[in-house]
Amino acid sequence: MSDPVLELDAIEKTYKRGLAEPVRVLAGASLTLQRGEVVALVAPSGAGKSTLLHIAGLLDQPDAGRVVIDGQDMSRLGDDARTMARRNRVGFVYQFHHLLPEFTAMENVALPQLANGAGRAPAAERARGLLAQVGLADRTDHRPAALSGGEQQRVAFCRAMANAPQILLADEPTGNLDPGTSDQVFGVLMDLVRSTGLAALIATHNLALAERMDRRLHLEDGRIEAA
């Protein structure tokens, strides 16, 4: 087996809130993610899956342990290098789409590319191509308010893929949708991931969706085990 594109090694995280007792959220959590595989992270609400994804995506620092992306230990990088690694190597999808309401679907997908130094024309071309890939070729010039919930989330998928990341991290990406739309949108996400060959870690409490992925991991009591 090839080297993993993402490795979390013995991740520890404790939150301290004022005078309250510290809350240990992650207690030696470890996982590996190979190129081209889609892995479900199954956990109940409050188990720490969002914290784990934020650490994996370099949005938060662990108290202990290592985050290794494509063989590089991220803890050894300075803040600027970590920001560049996050921008270029990792894509995020959340339960709520967080699209910018004043911009069209195409503009929302182009923005991460522009922030990364791409020109306007190539950014727009890639954005339209990604939107066409998820069935939104005729909706590129619509603002989020004119899109359905499922369409908004598909735009969010494309935005996460805009800079061609190596890793996609998704936190309950269909959790805000009705069951029928959830199933359809998840299928679109899987097709998009498979067509690019990147690695995806998808946190969900939906066991039916988890069964459609390559592997299932379970997060409980701050540790990860095969489900």
Q: Quick one: pLDDT at residue 93?
A: 87
Q: pLDDT at residue 2 above 70?
A: no
Across the range 172-191, mean pLDDT stands at: 79
First to last CA, the chain: 21
φ, ψ for residue 30, nearest 5 deg: -135, 145
17, 23 Cβ separation under 8 angstroms: yes
Q: Quick one: pLDDT at residue 181?
A: 78
Across the range 186-214, mean pLDDT stands at: 86
Q: Quick one: pLDDT at residue 197?
A: 81
φ, ψ for residue 83, nearest 5 deg: -60, -45
Amino acid at 98: H
How would residue 75 be classed by pLDDT, with cut points 50, 70 and 90?
confident
d(C-alpha 53, C-alpha 165), whole Å: 15
Q: Quick one: pLDDT at residue 140?
A: 95
How would residue 1 be classed by pLDDT, with cut points 50, 70 and 90?
low
Q: Quick one: pLDDT at residue 46?
A: 77
d(C-alpha 2, C-alpha 199), whole Å: 13
Amino acid at 153: Q
176, 98 Cβ separation under 8 angstroms: no
Pairing type for strands 64-69 and 6-15 reads antiparallel
Number of Cβ atoms within 10 Å of the Cβ of 116: 14
Residues 6+ apart with CB under 8 A from 77: 85
Q: pLDDT at residue 201 above 90?
A: yes
Quick one: tokens of 142?
Answer: 């619509």
Average model confidence (pLDDT) across the chain: 88
8-67: pLDDT as tens digits: 999 999 988 777 788 889 999 999 999 889 999 998 777 888 899 999 999 899 999 999
146-178: pLDDT as tens digits: 999 889 988 998 999 899 999 999 988 877 777
d(C-alpha 68, C-alpha 107), whole Å: 32
How would residue 80 be classed by pLDDT, with cut points 50, 70 and 90?
confident
Quick one: tokens of 59?
Answer: 């949005």
Q: Quick one: pLDDT at residue 139?
A: 93
Residues of the chain with pLDDT > 70, as a percent, come to: 98
Q: pLDDT at residue 96 above 80?
A: no
30, 71 Cβ separation under 8 angstroms: no
| Integer-rounded Cα radius of gyration of the chain | 17
Q: Quick one: pLDDT at residue 127?
A: 96
Angle at 87 between CA 85 and CA 93, to 5 degrees: 120
Q: pLDDT at residue 227 above 70?
A: no
